[in-house]
């Protein structure tokens, strides 16, 4: 479903991604771990072209998407994204946040978008908060609205960029539960996270990336318990504790 071929990205003199190749099969959940500054967020952003790769090819559902003939707007409609800092639209209520994409991008009428948004908010357990503004929601609730907002575009795959890192501990569970049920329903997911429990129970594969290079990849329990590389071992021991 998602295939990255030898992706390179520079920010100035910084070589952030150094030829990363990765494939996520349809219905698979793949977790990326790695130290901060390792390039994992940039890699995720290369998939929906929020960051344009300098070199290499990105395929989504067989389409070569970082090709001049494909618009970034089209690519981003195929792949939903959830951010570390939620990024809900402050001036819109929860349901308006979810409706905005279908109404403005897909051109749906408001009634159709509203009934879809209601369903999605119910699915993330927030039917009662439809008319609340982001400032009136907890971090966990905001992130669940953000997931509903991304799902409203009926994406073929979902990208999660450290979705629980900015959350207070008591709200992490509710967000992971939503993500787990999404994965169980067969959503293709690429997740940057350090939630080991989530990775072990949901991810089919885990990739460790450091300094713009994939160091190791395998089944989550393998990588956690028997890392083959020294760098992986050092990192895993820090986050497992």
Partner 1 sequence: MEVAAATGSGRSWRTSAAASQLVWAAETVVGTILFILLLQFLFGFSIVDASLWEIYWPAFAMGVWGTLGYSAAIVPLSVVLGFTIGIARISRARVVAAPFAVFIDFFRGTPPLVIVIFAFLIGPSLLPARFQGRTLGLAVAVLALAFHSASYQAEVFRAGFQSVPRGQLEAAQALGMGPWQSMAHVVLPQALRLSLPPLGNELAVVIKDTSLLAIIGAIDLFGVSQDVQQNLLFTPGYDPRWFLIMWTAVALVYFVLTTGMTQFLLFLERRYHVRGIEAMSL
Q: Which residues form the interface with partner 1 (CB under 8 A)?
A: 48, 50, 72-74, 76-77, 80-81, 83, 85, 87-93, 96, 99-101, 103-105, 110, 113, 131, 133-136, 146, 149-150, 153
Min CB(228)–partner 1 separation in Å? 35
Min CB(30)–partner 1 separation in Å: 19
Which run of H or E residues covers position 184? helix 169-184
Cβ proximity to partner 1, 83 vs 235, nearer residue: 83
Tokens of 69: 């003939």
Residue 77, SS3 per DSSP: helix
- Total residues belonging to the chain: 241
Residue placing its CB nearer to partner 1 in the complex, 162 or 216? 162
Smallest distance from the beta carbon of 132 to partner 1, in angstroms?
8
In terms of CB distance, is 171 or 208 closer to partner 1? 171
- Which of 186, 136, 132, 138 lies closest to 158, judged by CA? 186
Residue number with CB closer to partner 1 (131 or 170): 131
| Nearer Cβ to partner 1 (87/138) | 87
Query: Residue 135 carries which DSSP code?
Result: G
* Closest approach of partner 1 to the CB of residue 17, in Å: 18
Tell me the β-bridge partners of 216: 208
Three-class secondary structure of residue 193 per DSSP: coil
Q: How far is the CB of 235 from partner 1 (least distance, A)?
A: 27
Burial class from Cβ neighbours inside 10 Å (0-12, 13-18, 19+) for residue 236 reads buried
């Amino acid at each position: 479903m998602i295939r990255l071929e030898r992706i390179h990205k520079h920010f100035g003199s910084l070589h952030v991604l150094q030829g990363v190749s990765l494939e996520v099969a349809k219905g698979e959940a793949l977790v990326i771990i790695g130290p901060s500054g390792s390039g994992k967020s940039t890699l995720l952003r290369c998939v929906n072209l929020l960051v344009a790769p300098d070199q290499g090819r990105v395929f989504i559902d067989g389409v070569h998407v970082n090709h001049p003939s494909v618009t970034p707007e089209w690519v981003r409609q195929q792949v939903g994204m959830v951010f570390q800092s939620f990024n809900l639209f402050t001036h819109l209520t929860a349901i308006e946040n979810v409706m905005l994409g279908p109404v403005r991008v897909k051109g749906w009428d408001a009634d159709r978008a509203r009934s879809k948004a209601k369903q999605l908010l119910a699915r993330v357990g927030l039917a009662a908060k439809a008319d609340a503004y982001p400032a009136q929601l907890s971090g966990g609730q905001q992130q669940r609205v953000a997931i509903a907002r991304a799902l409203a575009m009926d994406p073929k795959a979902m990208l999660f960029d450290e979705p629980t890192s900015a959350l207070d501990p008591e709200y992490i569970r509710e967000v992971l539960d939503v993500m787990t049920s999404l994965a169980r329903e067969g959503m293709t997911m690429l997740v940057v996270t350090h939630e080991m429990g989530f990775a072990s129970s949901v991810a089919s594969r885990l990739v460790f990336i450091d300094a713009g290079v994939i160091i190791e990849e395998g089944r989550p329990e393998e990588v956690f318990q028997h890392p083959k590389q020294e760098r992986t071992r050092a990192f895993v021991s820090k986050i497992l504790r």
